[in-house]
Amino acid sequence: MAIYVLTSNPNAIDFDHAGLQRRVEAALGVTVAVYRPLSFVEHSGFSETVREEIGLVLSNHHEDQPPLRQFDAFVQAWDLGALLDRRVLDLSGGWRKFLGLALFMNRPLPARLLLDATSHLSDARIRTLLARAAEQGDAVFCEYDPQLLLALPADTSAPAAPPLRRLNDDGTTVTEVIGSR
């Protein structure tokens, strides 16, 4: 399990995400599930509160692919307890995005490609995302400004962020940056 930060042409996030996915899959040798934030899809639309949204998504996992964490463990791991009774649509854009990311990351997958996953998230939420990403499978973060993720400041009151390895995308091939381990 590794966490990678992919340096690529930022336009690939919006205009070549399918090609980027193929290049990442070729580099990792495994199929990746892709997270892309879509501003018009903030939640399922079938629930009102955060509690209902989490319950709905967790209960609809395919029976042979149960979620990594069930409700209580999920809420605790992602630090969502204070938000359970809030309406999803009343959350800030960053919290809605974080909730969607948490639900996406709770799927049992061998690898994930996360496009523009950390924008609008606080450093604390990014640290939580990185810690959960390190628990299962490979995760590749492709950000508009990858240096912000690579330079995430340490927080002495929180567990250290997992090590980040670097990948480079030249538009044809994704390769690991020498010395990034």
Predicted confidence (pLDDT) per residue in 140-153, tens digit: 999 999 998 998 88
| pLDDT value, residue 58 | 92
| pLDDT value, residue 159 | 74
Measured distance CA(158)–CA(96) in Å, rounded? 22
**Pick from 19, 4, 23, 1: which is nearest to 114 by CA?**
4
Q: Which domains does the chain have, with CATH numbers?
A: 3-176 (3.40.50.300)
Identity at 57, one-letter amino acid code: V
DSSP, res 107? S
DSSP per-residue letters across 117-162? -STT--HHHHHHHHHHHTTSSEEEEE-SSHHHHHTPPP-TTSPPPP
CA 178 vs CA 75, 91, 146: distances in Å: 38, 41, 17
For 79, left (φ over 0), alpha (ψ -120 to 50), or beta? left
Which structure tokens are listed for 87?
């309406």
Alpha helices in 46-108 (DSSP H): 50-59, 71-77, 93-105
- The count of residues in the chain is 181
Measured distance CA(26)–CA(28) in Å, rounded? 6
| pLDDT value, residue 180 | 64
Which structure tokens are listed for 147?
């240096």
| pLDDT value, residue 156 | 81
pLDDT tens track, the chain, 181 positions: 789 999 988 899 989 999 999 999 999 999 999 999 875 556 677 888 999 999 999 998 877 789 999 999 999 999 999 999 999 989 998 999 999 999 999 999 999 999 999 999 999 999 999 999 998 899 999 999 999 899 888 888 877 788 899 999 999 999 999 876 5
